[in-house]
Structure 1
Amino acid sequence: MWIGDKSISIKIVVNDDSVYSFVGFQDNHDPMSIAFLPYNELWLGAYYSGLRYRMGTGFPTTEELLYPVDDPDFAGPFLNITYQESDDRKYLWTGGMDGLYMYDYYWQDWFRYTNGLVEDVKVFRWNGTEWVNYYYYWYDEDGNPESRMGAGKSTQVNQVYVDQHGRKWIATNGGGISMLDEENDYFTNFTTENSSLPSDVVLSFAHNIYTGELFVGTAEGMCSFNIGAQINNGQGTGNIDDVVIYPNPFKPAEHSCIYFESRPYAKLPTGENMLYIYNLAGELVAELEESDHFRFFWDGKNIGKDVASGIYFFVLSSKSDKTYLNGKFAIIR
């Protein structure tokens, strides 16, 4: 077991309960986070002293610890370090006072995401001397900016969690949760205004990979979201009790839409599903993709025209395998 002590050093407790200790940061004894990456890569994050890493096995020494490539100007504290590997790309993610940091192993470059309140810059790149503008937030014709990290309120990142779909869940210190998509382009924000978060000061995450629940620790208590399970239980076809449908029956005169939500989520990998709606004649009347909140919404229209009252069938299926859920609902006009 490895323990980082902000005021002293790093301690390693081995199998016989003996303790090995070493100084991770010579300037300040302030280790805060420890990450073990593939290929015998060890990363350490500090409160004031930035990041260090080591390649190799066995007990490390202070002399073996290296500064990151080009030694960027970081602003800690680094409370969490995480790793992402997908296809032929590898990334290291962490966060500090002034944004979300990402190291791209392919390009061997460091990048910093911000909330874009200064010069509308979304991402900076470290050029070896300073952080320079890399690309900007996009504006539509009405001058409205796309969603900004930390809901545009906070740049401090307390934790980063990468899920099975490559989405980055970012705990911000005052801006709620920001989810960066798998392409590393767009943020979706969850705050006290649009979710069940008890506080916009988000401190930590813990993901139950079997049920899909993401437990969120905040300054005002804990809550949970379901972001999808990493392990598909392979239970095959589900039944109507596994899908929440509201309202049912759907009355378009009273409700703007009907929504479908898969429970338990372990049966379908959230983010990779489609919902198909059929009438009694077996004709496809709607084909839906999941929303940012991992539900399906339908307004009761087929190519812009209202569908008739009656019984309709749905099939909720995974893009990645043959798992599916099905059921029926009613529309009353």
Structure 2
Amino acid sequence: MKFYYQLFFFLISVVSMAQSSQLWKGYYSYQETKAVAQDNQNIYIATDNAVFAYNQYSFETEIFNTINGLKINGINTLAYAEDYKKLIAGSTNGKVAIIDLAADKIYHLNDIFSKTNIPDNQKIINKIIVQGGYAYLATGYGITAVRLNDNHFGDSYYIGVDGEMVNVKSITVFNNQLYAAVENEGVKKASLNANLIDYNNWQVIDFNNWIELTTFSDKLIGVKEDLSLNTISATNQIDQVSDVWGGFLKFNVSGDVLIEVTHEAARLRGSDLSVYNEFVYGLNENGGVNDATYTNGDYYIASRTNGGVKVSLENKDNIVSISPGGPLSNNVSAVTMNNNDLWFTFGGYGPVMNPYEPNGLTQYGISNFKNMQTWQHISFNQLNQFKSTVNISFNPQQPHLAYISSFHDGLGVWDVNKNELTVYNAANTDELNAVIEGDTRVYGVAFDKNGTGWMTNTATTQNSHLVSIDKNNQFTQHSTNVINGDKFLMPVVDKNNTKWFGSYANGLFAYNETKNKAMQITTSNNLPNNNVKTVALDYKNELWIGTLKGLRIIRNVDQFLTSSQLTPTNIVIVDEGLNQELFFEQDISNITVDGSNNKWVSVADSGVFLISDKNETLYNFTTTNSPLPSNDVIAITINGTTGEVFFVTRSGVVSFKNYATTPATDLDDIKVYPNPVRPGFTGDVKVSGLVADATVKITDVAGNLVHETKSLGGTVTWNTLSFSGAKVPSGVYMIFISSQDGTLDAVKKVMIIR
């Protein structure tokens, strides 16, 4: 027997200001919506990790996500506290967020999530109600109260037999009694004036299984597991008055309207509990419904795949999207820059590169943020139901063709001008092989300097190959006895046209068709692990190799042409006076090189690191110190023109405003910033728009040289120190730039004010 009198939760809530960061941007999807709440002006709709407020009268939206401080994932329920002007969000993992709309603050209560004595599958918050200064949470272990005056947890109530943890599916308050629908234990109630911690004060009034309770029109109503709709009197008399539809999810109350929410519809009931209107949003046709409300003659639907929608009761054919713009899903597999367009692919594959896990073959479509201003989408049906998309690439010599790789359906070539997709797979292309019939797995495409695309084709361990496609979409299969195994990654092409690509279990491969040479590099050659998850080529001709158990580099990829076998080496850094291997035994997910030859490195469960060209750690971003939605960053893409860095996670995409750009072809668009450098500035001056290997000299107006460097990419930085290590004084400084061969030159100025 257990008897709880102590306060279960007493940790301090974490507070953040709901203000956007100027260095970070969010590229979140608002299509897969989960929950709805409302006040007298706004409709609040939640996705898995964000909330947006839609003003019914001005039609404007306000977004709360990681960029302005909302850090919660798995949202599945919302509640609004009118007296406190606070919105409470609960999640499937026990996290709670309180958005104080009046004070413009966000409070995070993560105590439930962090508790080790609550099993993870019981931390779910099923429902939130607001009553008398408290938000009551119906959870998988019992009921917990949250004080709304100070945004802290109050008591928790374990109301199972003998005070055990038990799944409370729903709660409501009626006649000053707190009612709870308890899984396998029926409906229980207790007076709000009683000691709710003492499970003996909870009375069982019915032993049937109930799935919903609510208070409406001075009635206590509920739905049993058999989908019967019942009233419960103050004397515990239960009367069936109707039935609800199959797929029933919940009730919401909006004034004198009871909204019955099912997985395909919202139905309106009046005070007599009869249905007088309904809106069907079919599961097969539209993806179905997760939540809904109704006010001022309009339905507001949180749909599963089409975002928040508004539907007039008088004209149900007029379905209006109210979600903010964004990609089709947060389950992003990759993003790609093409000119000034940002393209998104979704789904791909799950653990161990299996496209059937965790939830079957993914079916999304493609999104494009056109000119970084307007969202455009190619639907799943427009793509001829092309599934499990992994990546999208563009041929620089034919930029209107998008090459979409799938880990199930082969290669799709989308003609941007014609809006047409041509699919190549094992059924219609001899050079592509299938794992099994109907399952052609392609990872690519990387283009060489001749405009030939290169992709890996995972089939069986005997039939996996490197495949090329020319500008006329003619395929060539490249087979050697060196390339073996399966589950290969997208190739990286170096200046010698050598293709480098990793594999899930067979190490690193290199192939050059001109030299008719192939090589395999494994743990026998100093790789820390044969699961090579990422490779990246930098501006020094070094190949960075990220594996499941650490980092290696090949100092010069030219060595492949003359060496019979390459042995990659580790990088040793000095950390607190001791020699340490950089990323020793770390699970490295992605490496991307920026325009200053710095490396963005993502490490599983540890966020992203920016490693300088001198192997110093410049940044380490995590969910704790940045707007990253997850510490598992699976891909990193850089806008070479602006330096903006995009971090791809399975919970959405965010970007960081960096300044390292890719090399230009001329010196016509050089930028110096900040300019002027004002008092108090502690960062670096950036000079961008450079050609590769440009020499940059900085002098004072008298011609005295104070700094000199060479660009590896398209940007150099200056810490405003002279050669002596002292800060240069106030004044105008000249920046002289010249290309390596001396054919290009430019002069810029920067003013420094101390």
TM-score (norm 2): 0.31
The SS at the match of 2:499 is: strand
Which amino acid letter does the alignment assign opposite residue 673 of structure 2? V
Task: Indicate the residue corresponding to 2:633 in structure 1.
Answer: 202
What's the offset of the Cα at 1:223? 0.2
Contact 1:247-1:258 at 8 Å conserved across structures = no
Q: Corresponding residue for 1:260?
A: 685
CA shift for structure 1 position 275: 4.8
- Identify the match of residue 192 of structure 1 among 621, 634, 650: 621
Q: Choose 1 or 2 for highest CA Rg.
A: 2
TM-superposed deviation, 1:32: 3.9
Equivalent residues in 2 for 1:29-40 (5 A)? 29-35=439-445, 37-38=447-448, 40=452
- In the TM superposition, 1:138-177 aligns within 5 A as 138-139=571-572, 142-148=577-583, 153-157=586-590, 173-174=604-605, 176=607
Equivalent position amino acid for 1:201 in 2: D
**Distance across 2 between alignment mates of 1:196 and 1:103:** 37
- Paired residues of 2:510 and 2:520 also in contact (CA < 8 A): yes
Distance apart, 1:33 and its partner CA: 1.9
Query: Relative to structure 1, is the Cα distance of residues 329 and 66 closer, same or farther in structure 2, using a 3 angstrom cutoff?
Result: closer
Q: Is the 8 A contact 1:43 1:51 kept in 2?
A: no
Paired with 2:594 and 2:727, the residues of 1 have a C-alpha distance of: 38
The C-alpha deviation readout for 1:161-214, integer Å capped at 9, x for no partner, is 6777888766654455577999xx969785316996724422334444444444
* 8 Å Cα contact 1:98-1:156 kept in structure 2: no
Q: Deviations over 1:190-249 (max 9, x none)?
A: 5316996724422334444444444332345320433314445643676xxx42158633
Q: Cα 1:26–1:188, aligned 2, differ >3 Å: closer, same or farther?
A: farther
* Matched-pair contact (CA < 8 Å) for 1:276–1:316: yes
Gap change, CA 1:294 and 1:145, over 3 Å in 2? farther
Q: Distance in 1 between matches of 2:552 and 2:509?
A: 16
How many angstroms apart in 2 are the aligned matches of 1:167 and 1:102? 24
Partner of 2:724: 303
Q: How many residues align?
A: 295
Please give the per-residue CA displacement for 1:12-54, whole angstroms capped at 9, x wherever unaligned: 6787958554313333424142325446564234498695224
CA–CA distance in structure 2, aligned partners of residues 47 and 205 of structure 1: 27
Match of 1:103, SS?
Answer: strand
Corresponding residue of 1:127: none
Q: 2:433 aligns with which of 5, 25, 28?
A: 25
| Correspondence for 1:126 | none
Partner in structure 2 of residue 322 of structure 1:
745
Measured in 2, the distance between the counterparts of 1:307 and 1:227 equals: 23
From the superposition, tell whether residues 167 and 66 of structure 1 become closer, same or farther in structure 2 (CA, over 3 Å): farther
Q: Which residue of 2 aligns with 1:218?
A: 649
How far, CA to CA, are the matches of 1:177 and 1:25 in structure 2?
A: 36
- Which stretches in structure 2 are left out of the alignment for 5+ residues? 1-401, 427-431, 522-526, 528-544, 555-564
CA separation of 1:98 and 1:2: change in aligned 2, threshold 3 A: same
The counterpart of 1:244, out of the listed 648, 668, 674, is: 674
Quickly say closer, same or farther: Cα 1:104–1:6, change in 2 above 3 A.
closer
Task: Tell me whether 1:70 sits opposite 2:482 in the alignment.
Answer: yes
Q: 1:188 to 1:174 in 2, by over 3 A?
A: same
Once residues 727 and 422 of structure 2 are traced to their aligned partners in structure 1, the CA distance between those partners, rounded to angstroms, is 70
CA distance in 2, matches of 1:137, 1:309: 41
Counterpart contact for 2:678–2:752, Cα < 8 Å: yes
Which residue pairs with 1:6 in the alignment? 407
Could you tell me whether the CA contact under 8 Å between 1:147 and 1:188 is conserved in 2? no
How far, CA to CA, are the matches of 1:326 and 1:294 in structure 2? 15
Question: Taking every aligned residue pair, what percent have the same amino acid on both sides?
Answer: 10
Cα distance in 1 for residues equivalent to 2:596 and 2:723? 30
Give 1:227's match in structure 2, choosing from 655, 660, 663. 660
Task: Letter of the 1:218 partner, please give it.
Answer: T
| Helix, strand or coil at the partner of 1:202 | coil
